[in-house]
Chains A and B, each alone.
Chain A
Amino acid sequence: MGAILEITNFTKIYSQRKRAVDSLSLTVMPGEIHGFIGHNGAGKTTTIRAVVGVMDFDVGEILIDGHSVKQEPVICKALTAYIPDNPDLYDYVTGIQFLNYMADMFSVDRKCREERICRYADLFNITDSLGNLVSSYSHGMKQKLALIGAFLHQPKLLVLDEPFVGLDPEAAFRLKEIMRELCNQGNAIFFSTHVLDVAEKLCDKVSIIKQGKMVISGSMEDVRGSGSLEDVFMEVVENAK
């Protein structure tokens, strides 16, 4: 079975002096939850934005289910769902209009969209608010709405940048459930987080990036060894000083 996400030698240079990401390679296999960890400014968001095709890059290759992000961006985007760290949504539409828009964009048929909207909105407790304008939503509600929008087409690859920030404990629990469920169906998840406890419990694989370079990547058991993920991360940070 081929990798769902395959990053090879990805390099992003913002200016001649600064390499935001330097020769990064990793793979995410079907059914895998892959945690992407690093300190602030390490290059996590840059990598994620390149993966979902919202940022251009010159060096390296990124394949999603065998399709090149550079050569076939529309096919890759149709297979992917992306939630940025601070999802700004269209304030001038209602929650249901936003979800219907997302379903239209990903060509989800009527039966599936209605079923999935109903199910996920109930899970996240925002069904009653779907008729209200997004501008009236709290930060957490917007986050939930963005997540539902991402789940509607059951993406092969779900890319999340700090998905647990702003979610209440129940919503965070539901999100973890849905993530696991998606992976059990053969899809894959690639997400960044600073919450190491969550990463440790949830991820099958983990990659730690430091100053744009991959430091460690492997299965959770191999990476943490006999310690905790926090110990490994701190060791990496200490070695950097």
Chain B
Amino acid sequence: MQNKYLLLLKMQLYNFFGINRMLHSHNKKEKQRSAAIGILVIIVLGLMIAYSTLFSARLASMGDAGILPTISALICSLVTLVLTFLKSSGVLVGLRDYDMVMSLPVKSSDVVLSRITMVYLANLLVSMIVILPAVVIFGLNTDVGIVANLIFLLSILFMPVIPMIVSLGLGVLITAVSSRSKHKNIFSLVLSTLAVLLIVVASTKAQNMDSSEILNIGLVLSNIANRVYPPAAFISIAVLNQDWLYFFAFAGLSVLVGGIFVMIVAHFYQMMNTVTFSHAVTKYVGKPLKISSPVRAMYKREFDRYFSCTIYALNSTIGMVLLLVVSVMLLFISPEMLEQQSGFAGLSQMLRQMLPMVIAVFITMTSTTAASLSLEGKNRWLMCSAPVRTIDIFNSKIAVNLTVISPFAVTSILLLGVRMKVSPVQITLLCIVPAVYACFISVLGMYMNVRFPKYDWTSEYYAVKGGAVSVLATMGVGLLSSVIPFFICLIFTDFSTVIMAVTSCLLLTITATIYKSLRGIQLYM
């Protein structure tokens, strides 16, 4: 008889990347969509491997491949830490299938272990992307021997374990603490946004460094990592000294930490889920109710939806948050100083001219509408049976995207406009171009989601990310619509005003055409 843990794991693997659905679906469209997503995933993985290889090669070319084991362990740990944290809330507790799984004749530890194994497999994939190129570069650039390479290679299996456990522990703790709060998603959203910003700022800083600085920070990081994260030092010593003892110490430590975590969570598993599923009961006291028109009521509900789903809000707002961060950062660096530092004469003038397009690029990364219809999921009977025109449903969703974009865009325009000392013509463009792009991306996202809805999700993640064609298509088309004119303006700087004006008119026409086609659509279940 098959091990219960393996049976549980097998059932979860069926849903991994939708492989089972692709194998057994008789729907031709679904198969084509799965194939397209598969190709996209392969391309993204390829790019990540290329980036990782270049990074390792750059370190090696600076003559210190010896720090590669520590640095790659550190990067792998940080990536695992952040990625696991972002999705940790729904991995162990509060799962939809909890009742069904726990009613089966299986031990809690088998359930917990099968859940953690799934997270481990996903993190292992990331670790391989980060470390495999480092192993190859390390092997080619050092003469430490085959055993060192073998130890480095085997360490991949254990590298994600400890950071994964730390993140999962943190996630379980936050879920348990915030489960009684009505604002847990906002709390989670703020934390997640901070984490993403930290990564972006750190990577931007790294990109701006020259070779000696990178080597320097590499050594500093390596030293810090060795001190504050001893397992990184274990790997470093094991690889560089070809010391199996340190390798087994590292592997043993990882397995031990993982084992203890599984035992603790398994022991309290039922209790933790009971706490998560139970809610604070407050006695309702009647208050006067606020009356709204149907469209306004839908708009308000869309906003509730936006804040109710961390991954939805984070995914669709991060572009605007980044724009605001860039705008604030530029407050402290004058355009002239930027020109001086970069050594690029005329940079400040060019920036002034390109400002509307720069803002447009960030705006085209922001579309709540692209997933808004998919997120209706099983609730869509309410939307479909409501006595409102379909276009009003779309309008309420479009209005939410414009509301999300507006405060960030207006603040950034004001900050950048004042800082860059733009001319009246540039002020006009600075107002018109972002406004046109905001309308365009909102309507485009809505159209794409109407064309490619994904209602049959088991987790909101799959409606917002995990292969949501409408989101990918909106992002792709949106970015192309801003990046292409951006580069045309860059090449023909003297005509940038005309190019932006023409682009705006063109986009406005396209937006109107798409909106007109939305008016003719009737929504059905």
Contacts and interface: CB of A to CB of B under 8 A. Distances in A.
B283 interface: yes
Contacts of B379: 88-90
Interface in A93-141: 93, 95-97, 100-101, 103-107, 109-110, 113-114, 117-118, 127-133, 135-136
A84 B283 contact: no
A82 interface: yes
B283 A92 contact: no
Interface stretch (A24-32, A72-80, A183-191, A219-227): A72-80
Nearest to A88: B378
Interface stretch (B384-392, B406-414, B439-447): B384-392
Nearest to A109: B291
Contact of A130 (B284, B290, B384): B284
> Which among A56, A75, A118, A131 has the greatest number of chain B C-beta atoms within 10 A?
A131
Contacts of A166: none
A49 B382 contact: no
> Which among A73, A82, A129 has the greatest number of chain B C-beta atoms within 10 A?
A73
B522 A105 contact: no
A78 B387 contact: yes
Interface stretch (B121-129, B140-148, B296-304): B296-304
Contacts of A127: 284
Interface string B383-426: 01111110000000000000000000000000000000000000
A89 B284 contact: no
B308 interface: yes
Given A92-B308, A105-B387, A55 B524 contact: yes
> Which among B292, B387, B388, B525 has the greatest number of chain A C-beta atoms within 10 A?
B387
A159 to B, nearest CB: 9
A89 to B, nearest CB: 7
> Which among A80, A89, A101, A129 has the greatest number of chain B C-beta atoms within 10 A?
A101
Contacts of B289: 96, 100, 103, 110, 113-114, 117
B294 A107 contact: yes
Contacts of B293: 104, 107
A84 B300 CA distance: 24
Contacts of B294: 104-105, 107
Contact of B388 (A55, A105, A136): A105
A87 B300 CA distance: 21
Nearest to A57: B524
Given A104-B297, A113-B289, A132-B282, A92 B387 contact: no
A89 B382 contact: yes
Contact of A49 (B296, B298, B525): B525
Contact of B291 (A82, A92, A110): A110
B296 A104 contact: yes
B265 to A, nearest CB: 23
A158 interface: no
Contacts of A132: 279-282, 284
A149 to B, nearest CB: 9
B279 A133 contact: yes
B387 A101 contact: no
B381 A101 contact: no
Nearest to B307: A92
A10 B379 CA distance: 26
Nearest to A54: B384
Contacts of A87: 381
A128 B283 contact: yes
The number of chain A residues touching the other chain, given as a range, is 35 or more
B295 to A, nearest CB: 9
> Which among B291, B298, B522 has the greatest number of chain A C-beta atoms within 10 A?
B291
B384 to A, nearest CB: 4
A127 to B, nearest CB: 6
A53 interface: yes
A37 interface: no
Contact of B284 (A91, A103, A109, A128): A128
Contact of B279 (A78, A93, A113, A135): A135
B291 to A, nearest CB: 5
A80 B379 CA distance: 18
B285 interface: yes
A52 interface: yes
A193 to B, nearest CB: 19
Given A88-B378, A90-B379, A113-B289, A101 B284 contact: no
Interface string B349-382: 0000000000000000000000000000111011
A106 B305 CA distance: 20
Contacts of A95: 284
B516 interface: no
B381 A82 contact: yes
B343 interface: no
B182 interface: yes
A84 B281 contact: no
A56 B304 contact: no
B105 interface: no
Nearest to B378: A88
A53 B385 CA distance: 6
Contacts of A133: 182, 279
Contacts of A93: 301, 304
B286 A52 contact: no
Nearest to B291: A110
Contacts of A135: 279
Contact of A74 (B298, B301, B309, B387): B387
A132 B281 CA distance: 7
6 contacts: A54-B384, A88-B377, A88-B381, A95-B284, A128-B283, A133-B182
Interface of A: 49, 52-56, 73-75, 77-78, 80, 82, 84, 87-93, 95-97, 100-101, 103-107, 109-110, 113-114, 117-118, 127-133, 135-136
Which 6 residue pairs are nearest across A and B when measured between Cβ atoms?
A92-B308, A136-B279, A104-B297, A78-B387, A131-B284, A77-B387
Given A82-B381, A132-B281, 19 more contacts: A52-B385, A53-B385, A54-B381, A73-B522, A74-B389, A77-B386, A84-B381, A90-B379, A93-B304, A104-B292, A104-B293, A105-B294, A107-B293, A114-B288, A118-B286, A127-B284, A128-B281, A131-B283, A131-B285
